[in-house]
Structure 1
Amino acid sequence: MANVSGSWTNTSATRLFGTRLPIVLGPFGGVSSVELAAAVSNAGGLGSFGLYGYEPHRIRATAEALKTATPAPFGLNLWLPVAGEDEPHPDADQFNAWREVLRPYFEELGLELPEQPASWMPDVDEQIAAAVEARPAVLSFVFGVPSPAVVEAAHRNGIVVVGTATTVEEAVALADGGVDAVVATGMEAGGHRVSFLRPAEESLVGTMALVPQVADAVSVPVIAAGGISDGRGLAAALCLGADGVQIGTAFLATEQSAAVPAYREVLRGPATARTVLTRALSGRLARGIPNRIIRELPDPSAHAPFPVQNWLTGKFRPEAGKQGNTGLMSLWAGQASPLIGAAGEYDAGRLVERIVAGADEVLGRLGGR
């Protein structure tokens, strides 16, 4: 572990989470791994695991695997249904029309077109019950405010509850809803924009503007996310009033990540210099590296809404990953991704050390002034 001068690592977030370092691993929907979450937790941060699409039995098994892999605190993450957003119930003709748009990609990968399922996603109440039963140190949510009953159940089981905000308004709603900490995620972040009070396109606030406003608006610890990949970003976030940082893309490029090798190689290379916001792959706005499928499906009216589009593309994206076909994958990445290749550190534990050492250097230099 890097030598740390001073006491900047002791924050309200580390005390809340029971960690040594104010570093949280971003939870990845679909590419989380027990190995990566455990590595970050074992290094002193808070390892996190995204449970999007997981059935209750799989949630329980994942939590048990994490407890076996690390004695340190870890977090589980769930998606909430967005209030006022109706789940699509397409008839056969509409489903076929949406499926036909994607036919060329299925054929290219040698896959049959999928049949319409009985449901697009697992029942969220059952997911939450399984996650609470698993008793992680932290249970975090995106796309909304967990209900008072959920917060109470988590607290009753000794679980810290974390919500995620893209605006000050959302942060206040989360704090008023009883969460113990708020992740303030700026528009620079990779992956899905998790806005829930206004459309994502109207909630694109940068991290540097968002974090201090959220810190001023709520009394709970604030975790900064978006555009943070190294110690300089951690130091800057703390100076802006954050109590910790959440880092995603930099860890996604490590060897412990569940991202396929082709995806990790892209994250380590020059293609990260440009990212875009798109609805093409899931039906919800997300930031990623532009590739062929994003270029070929630019118009949301041409494809299905969430969660149907996410379900449909999810039927061929894994095969694209196996074949190394990065043109048909979801290459989620944040705007600080070019720093990943520049650092050249692809072991999760050593990356934590590098981030801490970098922050210590910056904060020590500032203190010396």
Structure 2
Amino acid sequence: MRTPLTNLLKCRIPLFGASMAGCAGGALAAAVSKAGGFGFIGIAMPSNEYIDAQLDIARKALGVESGRLPIGMGFLGWWLESVADGETYIQRAAPQVQVVWLSFGRDLRKWYDVARAADASVKIAVVVNTAAEALTAASWGADILIAQGVEAGGHGAAKGVPTISLLPVVFAALQAKYATSRPVLLAAGGISTGAQAAAALALGADGAVIGTRLLATPECIGYSDAQKNAIVAADESSTARTMVFDEVRGTTGWPEGIDGRGLCNKTYYDDVAGRPFAEIKADFDVALKNGDVSRMVTWSGTSVGSVSSVKPAEVVIRELEDEMISSIRRIHDLI
């Protein structure tokens, strides 16, 4: 497959492995890229030691001892804003990766400028939830825009729209403003199959972002086997958007209008029922200590029902490639 994304990054398959903070480490990023896609390391609460360790894992897996790695690294703007030395983490990563992914900040332009100044050659991807946000990021000079629908697992716009509605309006806005010089456009949210990724191409995207499907892989570092099995056992109605998962974890620095989607569990249902938060928090803390997934947070998107087993990430990406090609050919045969 050839799209503006594959042309830009020289990857074979127009798929990003999502920058899932705390879950996508060097092993997962490397596996996605080795399979022909483009993988990311997701940084939650950055430290130089963690960044170096994950890059080292990726280097060993990819056999790249020095220079720029064929992966990216993602940063949460709000977390960078919360520390005194946020710039240093981007400056450390930018010369070593091909793409810096930026999301969920009150002033993402600041971090865009930091990344651009840190390394003129690095590509910059920005997550957007509306056409207006896409045009703003494009005006900065962003190389890649990730249009994230409300179906996405983890964090996103609480009042966002589905990917199938978001993509066409973002595509149209970019085409009207930039014509042939527009940034690369990717779809994110609710995509776990090759058919869904192919549909994103039909809606104007140049590629798709795979998140939830890659959580159920051995390379995912953030989830226990029990959480991965919970993802496999879930169906299409098993997730919900809520702030209670962040409240019990103490991660409440997200910008206004951002919440998270995860597997519905006792923590979620207790909150909906109006149980006192102190009691919910106490039970969550015990569950976290004991690895009890009935109350732990397991971020997942609406496409979780399409995840049927735990498989190596390279296998997942190659299966998605085959499914994409089959879907595109099937539609072509209708003409």
Quick check: 1:275–1:289 contact (8 Å CA) kept in 2? yes
Question: Does structure 1 residue 48 correspond to structure 2 residue 40?
Answer: yes
* Contact 2:125/2:146 (<8 A) preserved: yes
The one-character-per-residue Cα deviations of 1:100-120 (angstroms, maximum 9, x if unpaired) are: xxxxxxxxxxxxxxxxxxxx7
Matched residue, 1:196: none
Quick one: structure 1 residues 18 and 303, their matched pair in 2 at CA, closer, same or farther if it must change by over 3 Å? Answer: farther
Contact 1:53 1:122 in 2 (8 A): no
Would you say how many aligned residue pairs link Structure 1 and Structure 2? Answer: 303
Residue 34 of structure 1 deviates from its aligned partner by: 2.0
Q: CA deviation at 1:276?
A: 0.7
Amino acid at match of 1:43: A
Q: How does 1:96-135 map to 2 (within 5 A)?
A: 123-133=85-95, 135=96
2:291 maps to amino acid: G
| Alignment match, 1:256 | 219
Q: Residues of 2 paired with 1:241 and 1:50: CA distance?
A: 26
Task: Please give the TM-score of this superposition, normalised by the length of structure 1.
Answer: 0.76
Q: CA deviation at 1:269?
A: 0.5
| Other-structure match for 1:307 | none
Q: Deviations over 1:294-345 (max 9, x none)?
A: 2234599x769xxxxxxxx8xx77x84673301231111100110112xx46
Gaps of 5+ in 2: 175-181, 247-251
Instruction: Give the deviation of 1:28 after TM superposition.
Output: 1.2
**Bigger strand share:** 2
Matched residue, 2:249: none
Amino acid in the other structure paired with 2:7:
R
What's 1:276 paired with? Answer: 240
SS of equivalent residue, structure 2 residue 90: helix
**Structure 1 residues 213 and 338: CA distance shift in structure 2, 3 A:** same
CA contact (8 A) 1:39 1:47 kept: yes
CA spacing shift, 1:330–1:68, aligned 2, 3 Å = same
Pick aligned residue for 1:293 from 251, 262, 267: 267
Counterparts of 1:224-243 in structure 2 under 5 Å? 224-243=187-206
Counterpart CA distance in 2 for 1:303 and 1:177 is: 42
- Percent identity over the alignment? 30
Q: Equivalences for 1:1-369 in 2 at 5 Å?
A: 9-70=1-62, 71=64, 73-81=70-78, 123-133=85-95, 135-144=96-105, 145-147=108-110, 149-156=113-120, 158-193=121-156, 200-202=157-159, 204-218=160-174, 219-258=182-221, 259-270=223-234, 273-282=237-246, 283=252, 284=254, 285-298=259-272, 320=287, 323-341=290-308, 344=309, 346-369=311-334
- Segments ≥4 residues shifted beyond 4 Å: 319-322
CA distance, structure 2, for counterparts of residue 269 and residue 216 of structure 1? 38
Matches of 1:176 and 1:82, distance apart in 2: 24
**Structure 2 partner of 1:92:** none
Distance in 2 between residues matched to 1:57 and 1:78, nearest whole Å:
15
Which residue identity lines up with residue 227 of structure 1 in the other structure?
A: G
CA distance in 2, matches of 1:327, 1:241: 39
C-alpha RMSD of matched pairs (Å): 2.6
